[in-house]
Amino acid sequence: MEKSIFPKDFLWGGASSANQCEGAYNEGGRGLSTSDMVTFIPKEELGNNYNLELSLSHIDKYLKGDHGAYFPKRKGIDFYHRYKEDIALLAEMGLNAFRISIAWSRIFPKGIEDTPNEEGLLFYDKVFDELLRHNIQPIVTISHYETPLYLTLEYNAWENRALIDLYIKYAKVLIDRFKNKVKYWITFNEMNMMETTPYTAGGILLEKAKKDKITTVYQALHYQFVASAGIYEYAKKTAPDIKVGCMFGRLEKYPVTCNPEDALQTMKEDQMNFFYADVLVRGEYPGSMLRFFAEQGIDLDITAEDKSALRNNHAAFVGISYYMSYVAQKDPSGIKTFGNIVSSVRNPYLELSEWGWPIDAVGLRIALNRIYDRYRIPVFVVECGLGAKDTAGADGTIHDDYRIDYIRRHIEAMSETIQDGVALMGYLAWGIIDTVSCSTSEMSKRYGFIYVDQDNYGNGTQDRLRKDSFYWYQKVIKSGGTSL
């Protein structure tokens, strides 16, 4: 067999989140979470929009009854009850890592309690034990696009400084309980999504915010930075063997032309995207962002203590999600293509996925090189995958060669990246098992290598089926990435 470029301890895995997978929203003492309030809106009504920002009247209405609406994230794919079967399939594929998130409201139903909900902790104990029994490392995201709903209603969640302590209390409980089972942790999923969807990323209802949108967004991010730093510090003191990282959605951008103005625009957008890791790895706000705040009149509540917490406590690795690349141009007009929450100018050199997301494996190599060059600490691809419509044949087969092709190209790009000298920790294919889509709450936008028989309204047997990509990834892992 050809010699593998990938290190022996490379983490070959998959990724998921509690709000998209678990279901059982009202079992085991779990409280309501922000994601439970998202209703399914059919494509004919939603068009090319996303279903991520909610209003208070929407929440008020659905707190009083379901009014015939369907809430896909309350049901997920029932991982809560089927985790053993799912983990057995992941083990059969040969995964040595699986990323899940913890539902905050399973541990602290309202977010304000003094003692955690033991039943919630026990559920994750069982999941981690099952993973470890199969030699699969759990990778844990402490907060992935959900907040106890009570915190939204009472505090407007991350708009409020009080969330720092509430989050730290919650995260400390997790670290104390699971430090011997979980080595890799991520404080927040895709921090940059706060800019686009404060409700999803920060549990914030903009209509309740005391300040304008842009100030609210960067204030919430600041609080999440300080909360992250608090957990880096706690881990260092109490669990030196665990690694706690940061994560952002990498928006790799190319200038639309070689006009220096387009290159400058690209640089500025890049600085905005690197901001999250700049703060959490380097420990201070970059000058470019301070200038941006001054120009925009953004005045943030940042204390001397906050600054010292950031300066002294840093992320152990940089996690990224990567789905596509983007194009930047000085002139804001231009052909728009739909992206992962962010739209951009159409790149004529790239094909688009069925959801209009440009496919660009070379962009992943560029992104990883640039991140490593900038921070010089290990980089981890904690999400990457292709959302597509899959059809199960009468015999239960699913031929997803388009997905295999996408993942193959991205693994090839990672192999090049490792040869470029980048310390790459692993690759976690997003939605290794079909889940509810984050942005549209559809089931029909499938990322999995394992198919789940469930439709957009939650109908179906929920049976799990192996797609062609399942057998292909199994071979890839077994060969250490040489058999692509």
Catalytic residue chosen out of the listed positions 22, 159, 252, 383: 383
- Using a CB cutoff of 8 Å and minimum separation of 24, what contacts does 39-45 make? 39/69, 39/70, 39/71, 39/441, 40/69, 40/70, 40/71, 40/72, 40/441, 40/442, 40/456, 40/457, 41/440, 41/441, 42/456, 43/440, 43/442
Compute CA distances 82 → 72, 77, 79, 190, 207, whole Å. 17, 8, 5, 27, 38
Residue 437 as a binder of ligand BG6 (CB under 6 A): the answer is: yes
- Applying CB under 6 A, the span of 85-93, 180-188, 234-242, 430-438 interacting with ligand BG6 comes to 430-438
User: What three-state secondary structure class fits 344?
Assistant: strand
Compute CA distances 287 → 37, 217, 263, whole Å. 38, 19, 19
Residue 190 as a binder of ligand BG6 (CB under 6 A): the answer is: yes
Within residues 312-371, the interface with ligand BG6 by CB under 6 A covers 321, 340
Label residue 371 exposed, middle or buried (CB < 10 Å: 0-12, 13-18, 19+): buried
Within residues 110-169, the interface with ligand BG6 by CB under 6 A covers 145
Nearer to ligand BG6 (CB atom), residue 38 or residue 229: 38
CB of 310 to ligand BG6, least distance (A): 24
Backbone angles phi, psi at 388, to 5 degrees: -150, 165
Can you tell me which residue has the tokens 């068009």? 47
Nearer to ligand BG6 (CB atom), residue 28 or residue 249: 249
Within residues 234-293, the interface with ligand BG6 by CB under 6 A covers 249
**Hey, what amino acid is at 20?**
Q
Residue 430 as a binder of ligand BG6 (CB under 6 A): the answer is: yes
**Hey, what amino acid is at 169?**
K
CB of 146 to ligand BG6, least distance (A): 10
Compute CA distances 337 → 341, 362, 429, whole Å. 11, 19, 24
Known active-site residue 190: yes
User: What three-state secondary structure class fits 243?
Assistant: strand
- Applying CB under 6 A, the span of 5-13, 22-30, 108-116, 436-444 interacting with ligand BG6 comes to 436-444
Nearer to ligand BG6 (CB atom), residue 187 or residue 437: 437
Of positions 363, 387, 426, 448, contacts ligand BG6 by CB under 6 A: 387
The C-alpha atoms of residue 481 and residue 392 are separated, in whole angstroms, by 27
Of positions 74, 445, 446, 466, contacts ligand BG6 by CB under 6 A: 445
Nearer to ligand BG6 (CB atom), residue 204 or residue 298: 204
Nearer to ligand BG6 (CB atom), residue 217 or residue 256: 217
Nearer to ligand BG6 (CB atom), residue 39 or residue 329: 39
Q: How many residues bind ligand BG6 (CB under 6 A)?
A: 15
CB of 293 to ligand BG6, least distance (A): 25
- Applying CB under 6 A, the span of 57-65, 260-268, 328-336, 437-445 interacting with ligand BG6 comes to 437-445
Catalytic residue chosen out of the listed positions 22, 130, 146, 190: 190
Residue 200 as a binder of ligand BG6 (CB under 6 A): the answer is: no
Residue 196 as a binder of ligand BG6 (CB under 6 A): the answer is: no
Residue nearest to ligand BG6 (CB): 439
Nearer to ligand BG6 (CB atom), residue 17 or residue 224: 17
Between strands 137-143 and 184-188, the pairing is parallel
User: How many C-beta atoms lie closer than 10 Å to residue 150's C-beta?
Assistant: 20
C-alpha atoms less than 13 angstroms from C-alpha of 90 in its C-beta half-sphere: 35
Of positions 14, 17, 73, 184, contacts ligand BG6 by CB under 6 A: 17
CB of 141 to ligand BG6, least distance (A): 9
CB of 251 to ligand BG6, least distance (A): 11
CB of 204 to ligand BG6, least distance (A): 18
The C-alpha atoms of residue 179 and residue 159 are separated, in whole angstroms, by 30
Q: Does residue 74 contact residue 105 with C-beta atoms inside 8 Å? A: no
Between strands 450-452 and 464-466, the pairing is antiparallel
Ranges of beta strands (E only) in 56-146 are 97-101, 137-143
Within residues 20-59, the interface with ligand BG6 by CB under 6 A covers 20
CB of 439 to ligand BG6, least distance (A): 3
CB of 482 to ligand BG6, least distance (A): 28
- Applying CB under 6 A, the span of 27-35, 326-334, 404-412, 431-439 interacting with ligand BG6 comes to 431-439
Structure-derived torsion over alpha carbons of residues 420, 425, 426, 431, reported in degrees to the nearest 10: -120
Known active-site residue 207: no
Nearer to ligand BG6 (CB atom), residue 281 or residue 436: 436
Structure-derived torsion over alpha carbons of residues 56, 209, 227, 291, reported in degrees to the nearest 10: 140
Active site residues: 190, 383
User: Where does this chain bind ligand BG6 (CB under 6 A)?
Assistant: 17, 20, 145, 189-190, 249, 321, 340, 383, 387, 430, 437-439, 445
